Amino acid sequence: MRDTTRHDWHEKIEKAIAVIIESLDEPDHKPITLRYLSQINHTSPYHFHRMFHEFTGETVHNCLRRLRLERASYKLHNTYERITDIALDSGYDSLESFSKAFKSAYGLNPSEVRNFVNWNGLLYSKSGIHYKPETEPLWYYLNQKGRNAMETKIITLPEKRIVCVENIGDYWGLPIAWERFHKILGENNLHQYGREWMSVFPDHDEKIPVEEKRSYAAMTVDKDFVNKYGLKEVIIPEGIYAIAVHFGDTEGIGPAWDKWLAEWLPHSGWEVDYSRPNLEWYQNHVCNPELTLTFMCTPVKKAGT
């Protein structure tokens, strides 16, 4: 399939997903059919069904069914609506059929969910398509078959407050910045205040000369942390990121990052947003460097915006 054709289908599937999710909260709960979704995208039901499955990893029917269950799960945990009403509003003709489907998906009866203090309620989705009650943009990863084996997630990261030690110039100077950072933290007993640990790259645009590039050895801190230790402080704004996982030595992150973006980005429908930094977000602390787990986070925006 030509890249232009794939991009067109990417937009068609996005449009269909938006219609599906928006329909979940319609008062009359009108059923969304494969035929309707194919009609609004000016294609045949058969072809649309095949492409929807290729891009999302599930059929329209299964996607709609899962989203309805996630929506029901949210209502069970966060509202006082009667379970029977939630069942009917989820497209089931009886409480019995709803309870059976819910138990099959979650391993729990609907009534049990109301006893949990913390409840996520999201079911597995290869493309990251989930029900969200908030009014916010819909972001997810649509599979680019044959392009890149590295799985990519599109998510919104919240604003982060970091304290850090700055490195200016070649990124190979970052290890020295990390040594200085840990020395300051150790001398002042500050490691306990770190929530997340990451290297931050605000100047990842290739137009910026290497000798001028800033990078930070950083940790995120709460808003009440008092910074009186000579550390640089930066606010990373909330925004949409493409995220992939690197498993192994940190020296291999750079090549893995370059390969990932070169293979995934041109066919994704996204482009890099240079107004926000790249993040190397470290997920564990292990002695064996081959077991290091890192989130590679690149800020993105819809292509052409």
Q: From the centroid of its chain, how far is CA 24?
A: 21
CA angle, residues 282, 286, 291, in degrees to nearest 5 = 80
What's residue 148's pLDDT? 44
Burial of 138 (0-12, 13-18, 19+ CB in 10 A): middle
d(CA 198, CA 91): 44
155-302 has the same fold as 3-124? no
Delimit the domains of the chain by residue range: 3-124, 155-302
Helix (H) or strand (E) holding 83: helix 83-89
- Going by pLDDT thresholds of 50, 70 and 90, the confidence category of residue 27 is low
- Going by pLDDT thresholds of 50, 70 and 90, the confidence category of residue 29 is low
d(CA 11, CA 202): 30
What's residue 298's pLDDT? 96
Helices (H), 150-234: 174-187
- Give the contacts of 189 (CB within 8 A, at least 6 positions apart): none
Report which of residues 151 and 283 the model is more confident about. 283
d(CA 68, CA 72): 6
Q: What is the CATH number of domain 3-124?
A: 1.10.10.60
Residue 26 predicted with pLDDT over 70: no
Residue 230 · residue 166 · CB < 8 Å: no
Residue 52 predicted with pLDDT over 70: yes
Structure tokens at 163: 């304290």
**What would the pLDDT profile of 253-265 be if each residue is shown by its tens digit?**
888 888 888 888 8
Residue 146 predicted with pLDDT over 70: no
What's residue 31's pLDDT? 66
Residue 177 · residue 166 · CB < 8 Å: yes
Report which of residues 177 and 17 the model is more confident about. 177
- The CATH architecture to which 155-302 belongs is Alpha-Beta Barrel (3.20)
**What would the pLDDT profile of 55-107 be if each residue is shown by its tens digit?**
888 899 999 899 999 999 999 988 999 999 999 888 888 999 999 999 998 88
Residue 133 predicted with pLDDT over 90: no
